[in-house]
Amino acid sequence: MRMIRKTLVAALCCTLPWLAANVQAQDYPSKPIRFILPYTTGGLGDTVARAMAQHLSQRLGQPVVVENRPGGSQVIALDATAKSAPDGHTIAYGTQSGMIFTTATKKSLPYDPLKDFASISTLFTTPFYLIVHPSVPAKSVQELIAYAKANPGKLSFASIGLGSGQHLAMELFRAKTGVELLHVPYKGSAPASVDLASGRVQVMFEGPGTGLPAIRAGRVRPLGSSGTERTASLPDLPTVQESGVPGYEITPWFGLQTVAGVPRPIVDRLNQEVRQWLGMAETREKLAKKLSLELMPSTPDEMTERIRREMPIFTKLIRAAGIAPE
């Protein structure tokens, strides 16, 4: 009899947390949800977030309030998220730049990027385009590699700053191909694009927001895209990888996350709503066709695995590029 009692008590101890989490999920959300962004208002990330917040508000029956917390290479927004209550009423962007690049370039952080957050879903990617000034005698990735090797140090490449996605995209390209190019960092895409179009610098990896208009206007020539698959915006343009650079991939991604400790049923509910939004025709029209984004829904576990997989890869790349943690 005593053994049966012990067995029942043990079973209840295992079951009660599960029941409590499910009860909490059924009552969710019980108040407005904060959506913390590491960006200022009006940009690409802000535009997408506000569209998603409107959908979530309608589906969940509570306001989803966008809170812009820019600065600190996304540390300010991520720290606010990490310090929030684990009840699902605070969500935030989790991006490759904030979760991977910032982690590798900071000596210390007020949070643990692998332990203090719970992934919800990846949202979309913004693949880079490898573009060159029309004066560069290369119409393919291999021709660029051949020209750069025949003329070491003659070509310069632009980025939007030391340790930026554009910088790391080229550092990975250099590591995979052995080419020598001079790095010229700029304070943003606008001045970098102006100098690329004028020929002051000759090469750049650039995102669709700035890159596609320049390509379509004929100011630059595209040679490849940085992902594993061709983009919907330029389906005839091969990837760098399929152009003869095995293993090359850098695909800036945006995801949604919350603080660690949020009950899994709540995380799964948010994942379900986000995936439904990404699958809507209206969303695809706005994000994929108008904003040239590649939609990328995932499970929570898939997003977490992506972060764990990319962390050591880009930390090694950043160290090899001589970028010391600050």
How confident is the model over 287-317, as pLDDT tens digits?
988 888 989 999 999 999 999 999 999 999 8
Per-residue pLDDT of 166-194, as tens digits, reads 999 999 999 999 999 999 998 888 899 99
**Beta strands 156-159 and 203-206: pairing type?**
parallel
pLDDT the model gives residue 190: 86
Residues 191 and 177 in one domain: yes
DSSP single-letter state for residue 238: P
pLDDT the model gives residue 321: 82
What CA–CA distance (Å, rounded) separates 260 from 262?
6
Range of the domain at 149: 129-225
Backbone angles phi, psi at 121, to 5 degrees: -170, 145
Q: Above 70 in pLDDT, residue 279?
A: yes
Q: Above 90 in pLDDT, residue 274?
A: yes
Angle at 160 between CA 154 and CA 165, to 5 degrees: 95
What CA–CA distance (Å, rounded) separates 105 from 199?
30
Is there a domain that residue 212 lies in? yes
Q: Are 257 and 307 in contact (CB under 8 A)?
A: no
Q: Above 80 in pLDDT, residue 159?
A: yes
Quote the number of domains for the chain: 2
CATH number at residue 289: 3.40.190.150
Residues 96 and 138 in one domain: no
The answer to whether the Cα torsion of 10, 13, 18, 23 is positive or negative is positive
Least Cα distance to 256 among 30, 28, 66 occurs for 66
Per-residue pLDDT of 69-128, as tens digits, reads 998 889 999 999 999 999 999 999 999 999 999 999 899 999 999 999 999 999 999 899
Residues 95 and 151 in one domain: no
CATH number at residue 183: 3.40.190.10
